[in-house]
Amino acid sequence: MFALVDCNNFYASCERLFRPELIGKPIVVLSNNDGCVIARSNEAKALGIAMGAPAFKMEKEMKQNGIHVFSSNYTLYGDISNRVMTELSGFTPDIETYSIDEAFLSLHGMPLGALEMYGREIVRAIHRNVGIPVSVGIAPTKVLAKVANKIAKKNPSKRGACLLDTQEKQIEVLSKFDVEDIWGIGRQHTKRLNALGVKTALDFMRLPRALVQKQFTIVGLKIWEELHGVPRIELEDVPAAKQTICTARSFGKMIETVEQLAEALANYAATCAAKLRRQKCCASCVTVFLHTNPFREDLPQYARSAVANLHQATSSTIELIEVSAKMLSQIYKAGFLYKKIGIILSEIVPENEVQVSLFDTIDRPRDAEIMGALDSINAKYGRDALRIGRQGFGKRWKHRQERLSPCYSTRLSDVLTIKV
């Protein structure tokens, strides 16, 4: 049996956690650069605010409806997420953190009759100890647990937890469950399934197995089998090392000069390098890309990328900043207004399996020590407390974050003061 624990409207719930006067009020959270809506409280959903809606088009609507708007505060959400996950680990060590607001738990060996109560206990514990509302779906496969979770979220009568243990219950629910709401069925698959006359999850289950495999590949077949109660997707309790690591951002204001682009890029390279070291890996392939704003059809457009293969894999911030800066100078063209730049690291290997190059001229042990010092200083004094000169101070290329909430739980100066 699997349980899927999913935080309700997670980002909106985090914003509300330290602003209790916002309970019952509509809240939306915007994407990076305050671009579009990525999270909504139930009240905002009820007002018809669409997921992914561009913020600038809704300025008026949000004002009229008294919606509280926030820039995304990933420092806050990340910290609250850690608290939720820590709480869940108290229930079982067999846990897979699936995303910032979701985790799968393996519940093997638990008596079936107790499962729904167990789910409700999880809901109560997270609410009491972290303050975030969650829903729990329990079923024999991950895909069914996802279904159960949606049922729990939608029906208040479930009191936060839904158990789909028997086939009868599953059939009953799946006959009313839209096929597009199944985990792993996206827009394209929905179109093709609708064309086959498939509307509900049950319709999908009743398609012949061979047809499913032919039309929707092995991925579709796994989903089909999971709906039938056959586990095909396992719990991944040790997170796999990432095969690509990317940092890219749009700018608040478009940028013209190569100096400012270089400064932004240096910061993204530093972020990528730190992510790489956190998973104890090195990368030997670097991609740098940049482009103008494709929405501004009135302006000249330019987009380019460059790929570099290093002779030896690295995780050094210094080296990656240097390499990416060189690549930028190769692809930068003056006379354009740039909207976004980014860096992608690939060909990632564990740091103790790096193929040593005969032609290497870098003092690797020394660099590793410097990086170790850099990481421990930044862990203690905050991200980017110690930085490479090229990173600058980001005065000109900042992204937009006009409605950022305080880092209530991670920055001493932002901790709430309570007058008693």
Cβ-based nearer residue to DNA, 55 or 132? 55
Q: Shortest Cβ distance from residue 5 to DNA (Å)?
A: 12
Q: Shortest Cβ distance from residue 168 to DNA (Å)?
A: 26
Cβ-based nearer residue to DNA, 322 or 347? 347
Cβ-based nearer residue to DNA, 256 or 363? 256
Q: Shortest Cβ distance from residue 296 to DNA (Å)?
A: 5
Q: Shortest Cβ distance from residue 323 to DNA (Å)?
A: 17
Q: Shortest Cβ distance from residue 35 to DNA (Å)?
A: 2
Q: Shortest Cβ distance from residue 272 to DNA (Å)?
A: 7
Q: Shortest Cβ distance from residue 137 to DNA (Å)?
A: 12
Cβ-based nearer residue to DNA, 16 or 189? 189
Cβ-based nearer residue to DNA, 57 or 366? 57
Q: Please state the three-class secondary structure of the chain as a single string.
A: CEEEEEECCHHHHHHHHCCHHHCCCCEEEECHHHCEEEEECHHHHHCCCCCCCEHHHCHHHHHHCCCEEECCCHHHHHHHHHHHHHHHHCCCCCEEEEECCEEEEECCCCCHHHHHHHHHHHHHHHHHHCCCCEEEEEECCHHHHHHHHHHHHHCHHHCCEEECCCHHHHHHHHCCCEHHHCCCCCHHHHHHHHHCCCCEHHHHHCCCHHHHHHHHHHHHHHHHHHHCCCCCCCCCCCCCCCCCEEEEEEEEEEECCHHHHHHHHHHHHHHHHHHHHHCCEEEEEEEEEEEECCCCCCCCCCEEEEEEEEEEEECCHHHHHHHHHHHHHHHCCCCCCEEEEEEEEEEEEEHHHCCCCCCCCCCHHHHHHHHHHHHHHHHHHCCCCCCCHHHCCCCCCCCCCCCCCCCCCCCHHHCCCCCC
Cβ-based nearer residue to DNA, 9 or 405? 9
List of residues contacting DNA (CB under 7 A): 31-33, 35-36, 38, 52, 54-56, 59, 98-102, 146, 182-190, 217-219, 240, 242-250, 254, 275, 293, 295-296, 339-340, 342, 344, 399
Cβ-based nearer residue to DNA, 240 or 334? 240
